[in-house]
Every structure is written in structure tokens, then in C-alpha cells.
Amino acid sequence: MRGTYVGPDGRRRYISHKNKEDARRKLRAWRADSDRGFLFDAEDLKLGEYLDSWLTDSVKDTVR
């Protein structure tokens, strides 16, 4: 079973699972994560780039 939705960046996302209910559950979780900005899609992201964005976006006021 496969489901699709459009992420906040405008790209189409695909969710698949063996049965319909699990696919729906997974799709709901991914949509909720996407709405909260937790979507992570980095096919070619380097570790240094990720860490730079993590420092500036996630913990800039809590880590020196």
C-alpha cells in the first residue's frame, strides 16, 4: 500500500507499507511531523552542513 502527500517545500512525498492501515498510520505521522517542521529529507546533505543547520536552527540559544 502506498500513500502520497506534498511537503512544505512543495515536493511530493511517498509513504509505503505492507498493509493499508499501517500505511495510513505512517502517513498521518509523517504529515504531523511535516506540519511541525520535523521533515528530514537530505539525499546529499553532508554531516558538516547538517550540524551547521542544527546549531543555528535547533540549539542556538542553549549551546555555546
pLDDT given at position 44: 75
Residue located via cell numbers 558538516: 48
Residues 63, 10: Cα–Cα separation, whole Å: 32
pTM above 0.85, yes or no: no
Residues 64, 41: Cα–Cα separation, whole Å: 27
Q: What is the pLDDT of residues 18-64, one digit of tens each?
A: 888 888 888 888 778 777 766 666 667 788 888 887 788 777 777 66
DSSP state at residue 54: H
